[in-house]
């Protein structure tokens, strides 16, 4: 059965901007486990091969949902272009956590347009890079999440802010800029980004969240990732109570994918990621939890 793709649906967010979502699933009227994907920094739902990834999960009977964080810099008319750079500058981790909560609430609601296609029990999360950190934090605080997969995830946010001298300059100017190497745009970060982090530092502590996880966690990382060190995957594996570490040999931060991705097939590295993720998702949670805990105790 062919999969259905419903593109660019709007969910009302909590911060004055809609959250644009895609649904990929077999439209057969049978309830399916929901799998939500969170993109990373300077990312968007239609980047590279995320759509092909969603199709693979949908073929395996998942209701796959990917979305643009409301303040990621894209807009409704241009969901793949950073044309709203002021929204990008107004973004922060708290907004992204609220956006993810809005998505979870929507897809599990009885009023959801495709409620007959959705198993309204638990949802599973996949997060890439910065989105991995968001997924970890949300998985630790939202009881309706059943399994967690992080791809090339960061292990902390605090170390990514500049030193005290640069922080002071940022505070005085009110804004600093970061180069988007793909588009060559200078994207703004308003100082509220740092202020919000400090005000919510305990909640935004990925280590604290990982240590408090009550669900199985698959940690996927490329051995040649130069954007997020493989050491960060090791930390997540150490902290997360019931985790499995899946290293992808010779893979970079995006597992050999680029944007746009116009090839008819995925890279071998990304195929390996999807195969291992499917194997993890299709096993009973209790079995995974017990086996991972046993391994940790033996070590």
Residue 197 within a domain = no
Residue 183 within a domain = no
Peptide bond into 260 cis (omega under 30): yes
Residue 98 within a domain = yes
pLDDT over 80 at 297, yes or no: no
Given its phi and psi angles, is residue 250 left (phi above 0), alpha (psi -120 to 50 degrees) or beta? left
Q: What share of the chain is helix, strand, coil (3-state, %, to 5)?
A: 35, 25, 40
Tokens of 264: 């008819």
Given its phi and psi angles, is residue 184 left (phi above 0), alpha (psi -120 to 50 degrees) or beta? left
pLDDT over 70 at 298, yes or no: no
Confidence class for position 196, pLDDT limits 50, 70, 90: very high
Distance, CA of 140 to chain centre: 14
pLDDT (tens digit per residue) in 72-108:
999 999 999 999 999 999 999 999 999 999 999 999 9
Range of the domain at 243: 4-159+204-298
Average pLDDT over residues 1-18: 96
* Confidence (pLDDT) at 214: 96
Residue 266: CATH number of its domain: 3.40.50.1820
How many Cβ atoms sit within 10 Å of the Cβ of residue 145? 22
* Confidence (pLDDT) at 292: 86
Residue 199 within a domain = no
- Cα(243)–Cα(217) distance, integer angstroms: 5
pLDDT over 70 at 126, yes or no: yes
Confidence class for position 143, pLDDT limits 50, 70, 90: very high
Q: How many domains does the chain have?
A: 1
Residue 44: CB partners within 8 Å, gap ≥ 6? 68, 72, 74, 79, 80
Residue 8 within a domain = yes
* Confidence (pLDDT) at 295: 63
């Amino acid at each position: 059965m062919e999969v259905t793709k419903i593109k660019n649906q709007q969910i009302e967010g909590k911060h004055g901007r809609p959250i644009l979502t895609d649904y990929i699933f077999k439209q057969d009227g049978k309830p399916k486990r929901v799998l939500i994907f969170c993109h990373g920094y300077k990312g968007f739902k239609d980047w590279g091969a995320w759509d092909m990834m969603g199709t693979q999960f949908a073929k395996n009977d998942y209701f796959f949902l990917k979305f643009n964080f409301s303040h990621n810099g894209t807009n409704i008319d241009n969901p793949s272009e950073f044309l709203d750079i002021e929204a990008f500058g107004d973004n922060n981790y708290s907004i992204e956590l609220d956006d993810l909560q809005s998505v979870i609430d929507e897809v599990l609601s009885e009023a959801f347009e495709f409620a007959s296609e959705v198993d309204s029990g638990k949802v599973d999360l996949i997060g890439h890079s910065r989105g991995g950190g968001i997924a970890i934090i949300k998985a630790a605080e939202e009881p309706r999440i059943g399994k967690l997969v992080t791809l090339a995830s960061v292990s902390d946010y605090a170390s990514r802010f500049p030193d005290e001298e640069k922080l002071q300059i940022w505070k005085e100017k009110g804004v600093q800029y970061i180069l988007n190497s793909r588009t060559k745009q200078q994207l703004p970060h308003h100082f509220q980004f740092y202020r919000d982090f400090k005000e919510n530092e305990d909640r935004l502590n990925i280590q604290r969240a990982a240590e408090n996880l009550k669900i199985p966690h698959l940690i996927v990382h490329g051995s040649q990732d130069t954007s997020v060190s493989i050491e960060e995957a090791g930390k997540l594996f150490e902290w997360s109570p019931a985790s499995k570490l899946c290293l992808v040999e010779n893979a970079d931060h995006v597992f050999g994918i680029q944007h746009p991705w116009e090839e008819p097939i995925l890279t071998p590295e990304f195929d390996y990621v999807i195969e291992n993720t499917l194997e993890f998702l299709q096993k009973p949670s209790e079995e995974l939890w017990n086996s991972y805990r046993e391994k940790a105790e033996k070590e």
